[in-house]
Amino acid sequence: MINIAKGTQDLLPEVTSDWQYVENKLREIAQNYNYKEIRTPIFEHTELFTRGVGGSTDIVQKEMYTFTDKGDRSITLRPEGTAPVVRSYIENKMHGYANQPIKLFYEGPMFRYERKQKGRYRQFVQFGVEAIGAEDPAIDAEIIAMVMDIYQSFGLKKLKLYINSIGDIDSRSEYNKALVEHFKPSIEEFCSDCHQRIDTNPMRILDCKKDREHPLVKSAPTIYDYLNDDSKQYFEQVKLYLDQLGIDYEVDTNLVRGLDYYTHTAFEVMSDAEGFGAITTLCGGGRYNGLLEMLDGPNETGIGFALSIERLLLALEAEGIEIEHDDALDLFIATLDEDSKQYAVQLLHRLRKAGIRADTDYKSRKLKGQMKQADRERAKYTIVLGENEIKNQQVKLKDMNDGGEQIIELSSLTDELKERLS
């Protein structure tokens, strides 16, 4: 027997209804904020990620699914969504659109080769948002507000929002010099990845999963001491907007995010629900003012976030929140003989075209077995079709909730059901 690939999962019908509910709600909230959907390919040229995400990141160095196609081109299954969206923005010249900034959302599978953990897979589904073309603290606050709106709309309460400023390019340059001076004398005490980071991106040492408890990490200088006046003012404005929106947050000066393209605002949302797991991050995002130019695009700025739907569902489970949605069958038609079965097939077609969720028996069960099937399908109403019902063109419409029955003309069944279901 061929088994599923490690780090992937089958989403069976008993859970896909939850996924559909979550995905629809995410789209609805994004559209309320006037963001429109974009769909990019599942694979891209590898250079997009080595340049856009950063050659020093764990994603590029360790986690990408990369292969050479028949045209001898290096292709990578997308590990994240921002770089493809920015590539599309540049390629399709969206900076020339009349309405600015360009506000986009996406949803789809991403791929990273990493050790399977609870709520983390090698193929996972991300929902993300990008606002490109405006450097304004108000839109930073809007993005963060949307994130919190999303989680709170599902009923999650045990949330913590952490924010930080990474500053502009000048501020980061000065800060990186200070980090090199701080870590370099003792870099042999750190992991092999950090040996490379000290030369390529020293800020990533603060984000290291292996050395995060090292005393030198805890005593490292903070970015806030190296922010220039413009960066400080920008961050203060972001905080002011969040305060006005009544959004609670905590400034974490060690929050640097794992991708090279971030500047200014960075943020993460954590869950502190008991039983959620060792990795508590639900969502991360931030501003990327240099990414477009890095990918040969115009001098425009952007900000965005991405969240894992798997981890959102895990957070709901940790807080004991059940997704309530109506996927019950509207009507089940039981049949008594072959003639009534043929009539039921035609009746089903008319009902379904009218938007009524209906089904019948295809296993030649006895009437008792058919009614058990209706119960398993949680049918709201049932009818039984036999010779007399077809001859008289009348059926007993049974309400499966209270057991009440009413004789209905077959010609008015559709209208009667639509009125009851509405």
Which residues in 150-178 are b (16+ Cβ under 10 Å) and which e? bbeebebeebebbbbbbbbeebbeebbeb
- pLDDT bin (cut points 50, 70, 90) of residue 106 is very high
Nearest C-alpha neighbor of 230 from the set 169, 175, 163: 169
Confidence of residue 262 (pLDDT cuts 50, 70, 90): confident
Q: Encode pLDDT of 237-251 as tens digits.
A: 999 999 999 999 999
Residue 257 — very low, low, confident or very high, per pLDDT cuts 50/70/90?
A: low
Rounded mean pLDDT, 270-275: 84
What is the rounded average pLDDT of the residues 269-289? 84
Question: What is the secondary structure of 366-377 as a DSSP string?
Answer: -HHHHHHHHHHT
Contacts of residue 236, defined as CB under 8 A and 6 or more positions apart, other chains included, come to none
Measured CA to CA in angstroms, residue 198 lies from 49, 183, 206, 218, 227 at distances of 21, 8, 11, 16, 20
pLDDT tens-digit series, residues 8-67: 999 999 899 999 999 999 999 999 999 999 999 999 999 999 887 776 677 787 889 999
Helix (H) or strand (E) holding 263: strand 263-271
Spatial neighbors of 136 by CB under 8 A, at least 6 apart, are none
194, pLDDT greater than 80: yes
Query: What is the rounded average pLDDT of the residues 159-169?
Result: 92
**pLDDT tens figures, 315-345:** 999 999 999 888 899 999 999 999 999 999 9
Beta-strand relationship, 394-399 and 381-385:
antiparallel
d(CA 106, CA 146): 14
Is the Cβ–Cβ distance between 356 and 331 less than 8 Å? yes
The distance in angstroms from the start CA to the end CA of the chain is 47
Q: What is the pLDDT of residue 278?
A: 61
Average pLDDT over every residue of 143-161 = 96
pTM: 0.88
| Cβ proximity of 379 and 417 under 8 Å | no
Chain segment 289-311, per-residue pLDDT in tens:
888 988 999 999 999 999 999 99
Answer yes or no: is pLDDT of 169 > 70. Answer: yes
Are 231 and 264 contacting, i.e. CB atoms less than 8 angstroms apart? yes
**pLDDT, mean over the chain:** 92
pLDDT of 258 higher than 60:
no
Percent of the chain with pLDDT over 70: 96
Of 136, 142, 110, 155, nearest in space to 35 by CA: 142
Name the pLDDT band for 129 (thresholds 50, 70, 90): very high
DSSP bridge pairs for 179: none
Question: What's the alpha-carbon Rg for the chain, to the nearest Å?
Answer: 28
Residue 256 has pLDDT above 60, yes or no: yes
Measured at the alpha carbon of residue 247, what is the angle toward residues 102 and 135, in degrees to the nearest 5?
Answer: 30
